[in-house]
Amino acid sequence: MRSKRLNSPGRARLWGAGRRAGLAWLICVAAGCTAAAPSGLRFYNHVPVTRVEDRLPIAKPLERPGRGTRERLTETFLQPIRHGLLLPGEIPAHNTNSLGRVPDSSWFQNRIGVRALSAQEVERGPGRGGPDQTKPWTVVRAKAGGTTPGFVIEDARGDRYLIKLDLLHAPEVESGAEVVAQRLLWAVGYHVPDNQVVHFARRDLKLDARATRRLADGTKVAFTQAELEELLTLTARTPGGELRAVASKYLDGEPVGGYSMQGVREDDRNDRVPHEHRREVRAQAVFFQWLGHTDVKVDNTLDMWTEHPDKPGYGHLTHYILDFSKALGAWGVGGYFEHDGWTARFDYLHALGSLFTLGLWVWPWEGIEPSSLRGVGRFEALHFQPGYYSSARPYVPFYYMDRLDALWAADILARLRPEHIAAAVRAGRYSDPRTSAYLVATLLARQRAILDHWFRQVSPLSDFTVRASGNGWRVCGRDLSLAHRFADADATRYRIEAFDHGGAPLGHRRELAGSPRGDICQDGLEPAELHDGYTLVVYTLTRANKIYPPVTVHVARDPSSGQPRVVGVERR
């Protein structure tokens, strides 16, 4: 077991050793105790933090340069070795609140995790519908970098959009993936660009006389009419003969480069949590595996500096993730990167396994055939294995993701209903209804597999509430595995015991059976007498003869209203 680090504003310092508490729990389980003894952790009797103020005014940071060849090679070949030699063990996320959740910040905005989100909102996404439809659009420069052809336009409103074109051999694959993944990640809570699928004709484009393109050395040269025409010949057309693309609106503010995989940005006083220890960054691995998104790198993140209107020269950063065109198995189309999602472009374990077995090792991705449907990549659910995921390149935060990070992500993912997923797929504007139906069914199947997997790795008790009831308190929670029909209520039992602020038993013991809906409610909890009634309610889940580590709910009386409230949830 490990001790908890308390780096969120909603927690007090650790009073006892979490390792000793974990050992006590193991001894207690082995001895058949009635419940696990509480640890020495206590929370402040405050409302849990739901928003972090990390937008304090700063001067515009220097722009981070893009990665060069040396950085890419180090990332691919040396980073896995470095991490393996460090043997860091489990390091808890540093930026969670007292409930184990991620507060709103310049990194993450809770949406479906805290409120009802309609299917219409998911289909619309964060934008206002793409470029103004008054034509022609003015082409101002060619797209720089990346494998997808494209260019930048300016519409009648003066807004600029990056136009990313579909490839000839993969019509609708990348444009659909870009928008579907963007809509779902926005619904989850990430800051993403405003992306829309657009159709247009050649006559809808006008080349600006000052249009440029950037050479490999950074030099700008003229972007000619002939080059634009050649670019358009490489683009897939819709069944009706139009050009199809993603229009990605330029983000508000000024770009200052991507955020690093490790450490903090030294020229931003708001950036205080090492990026590899941010729960919302580490847990991207859960969402990305679901979406088959592996193009994860510093270059696909972006910090945007926005100037404060009342303080010229000072502003704040907002941290974005972007470029999802290789999601939904797009990288596996045409026989490329058949191992995409299963292992990195270069992986020492698989390389050595292939070497020592003379190529006889059967890889888990062998035999997976891409779909023949228009717009579908190498994306399926039959062979899908939750927990078996790799980005295309080593990404340091994913090394640190633990089961509590994954539980947080799975809890949010479970809130996406079929109508939300169908709405995101509609935004992909696929021409074949069978494609839309296939993607919805596949995303739902992968979602179920991920939830079932991660809910089994930790006691999945969540959504705790407390209220006054009669002469005592009524405490309720929810078993996510039962609520989402992954477990059998008849095989589920909860052992519950209450302790006071000092850890002394209060004599409150309950044995509850599981309910089909996953509700866990108990009445008659008599709170402790001291410290505003601060009471620890320890839940130990037993399911199908497996005993899970306990979950401790910390409740106390609000000093101003006298009403009980949950002030923290502790997981082991």
- Distance, CA of 1 to CA of 13 (rounded, Å): 18
> Residue 535: which CATH number?
2.60.40.10
**What pLDDT is attached to residue 438?**
97
**The pLDDT of residue 89 is above 90:** no
Same domain, yes or no, for 216 and 292? no
Sign of CA dihedral 144, 145, 151, 156: negative
What order do you get walking across the sheet with 195-200 strand by strand?
195-200, 243-249, 160-165, 150-154, 137-142, 205-214, 220-222
First to last CA, the chain: 7
Residue 156 has pLDDT above 60, yes or no: yes
Residues 312 and 356 in one domain: yes
Measured CA to CA in angstroms, residue 45 lies from 14, 53, 87, 536 at distances of 15, 20, 36, 12
Q: Tell me, what's the pLDDT at 33?
A: 47
* β-bridge partners, 198: 245
Question: Does residue 268 share a domain with residue 250?
Answer: no
Q: Are 314 and 420 part of one and the same domain?
A: yes
pLDDT for the residue 388: 84
- 251: DSSP letter: P
- Residue 323 backbone class (left: φ over 0; alpha: ψ -120 to 50; beta: rest): left
Confidence of residue 292 (pLDDT cuts 50, 70, 90): very high
Contact 556, 564 (CB under 8 A): yes
CB–CB of 490/447 below 8 Å? no
Q: Identify the helix (H) or strand (E) that includes residue 442.
A: helix 433-455
pLDDT at 359 over 80: no
Residue 6: pLDDT over 60: no
Question: Does the structure show a pLDDT above 70 at 105?
Answer: yes
Task: Say yes or no: 103 and 162 in one domain.
Answer: no
Instruction: Answer yes or no: is 3 within a domain.
Output: no
Q: Is residue 46 part of a domain?
A: no
Do residues 369 and 224 share a domain? Answer: no
Q: Indicate whether 310 belongs to any domain.
A: yes
Helices (H), 357-432: 396-400, 403-413, 418-427
pLDDT at 111 over 50: yes
Please work out, in degrees rounded to the nearest 5, the angle formed at the alpha carbon of residue 280 by the alpha carbons of 20 and 144.
145
Residue 350, domain extent: 58-117+260-449
Instruction: Evaluate if residue 14 carries a pLDDT over 50.
Output: no
| Length, in residues, of the chain | 572
**Which residues does residue 511 pair with via DSSP β-bridges, in sequence order?**
495
What local confidence, expressed as pLDDT, does residue 18 receive? 37
pTM: 0.90
pLDDT at 368: 79
What confidence score (pLDDT) does residue 354 get?
66
Is the same domain home to 351 and 419?
yes
pLDDT tens for 121-148 read: 999 999 888 999 999 999 999 998 777 8
In-domain check, residue 166 = yes
Q: Answer whether residue 301 shows pLDDT above 70.
A: yes
**Residues with Cβ < 8 Å from 238, sequence gap 6 or more?**
171, 199, 244, 431
Instruction: With cut-offs at 50, 70 and 90, classify the pLDDT of residue 7.
Output: very low
Same domain, 296 and 372: yes
pLDDT number for residue 75: 63
Average pLDDT over residues 434-456: 98
CB 489 within 8 Å of CB 516: yes
Predicted pLDDT of residue 336: 65
Q: Give me the chain's average pLDDT, please.
A: 88
The structural domain count of the chain equals 3
Confirm whether 19 is domain-assigned. no
Beta bridge partners of 442: none
Give the SS3 label for residue 70.
Answer: helix
d(CA 395, CA 297): 7
Query: Over 80: is that where the pLDDT of 201 sits?
Result: yes
Average pLDDT score over residue span 243-247: 95
Cα–Cα distance for residue pair 538/453, rounded to 1 Å? 24
Same domain, 142 and 213: yes
Q: Is the CB of residue 481 less than 8 Å from the CB of residue 487?
A: yes
Give the pLDDT confidence score for residue 13 in this predicted structure. 28
**Of 204, 239, 255, which closes a domain?**
255
Q: Among 255, 274, 297, which residue terminates a domain?
A: 255
Q: Establish if 40 belongs to a structural domain.
A: no
> In this model, does residue 228 exceed pLDDT 90?
yes
For residue 275, count CB atoms less than 10 angstroms from its CB and return exposed for 0-12, middle for 13-18, buried for 19 or more.
buried
Domain end (from 429, 449, 469): 449
How far is CA 415 from each of CA 105, 173, 410, 451, 521, rounded to the nearest angstrom?
21, 26, 9, 11, 21
Q: Does residue 378 contact residue 338 with C-beta atoms inside 8 Å?
A: yes
pLDDT on residue 391: 84
Reading the block at residue 102, the tokens are: 């991620």
Tokens, residue 313 = 């020269």
Is 445 within the bounds of a domain?
Answer: yes
Q: Is 230 exposed, middle or buried (0-12, 13-18, 19+ CB in 10 A)?
A: exposed
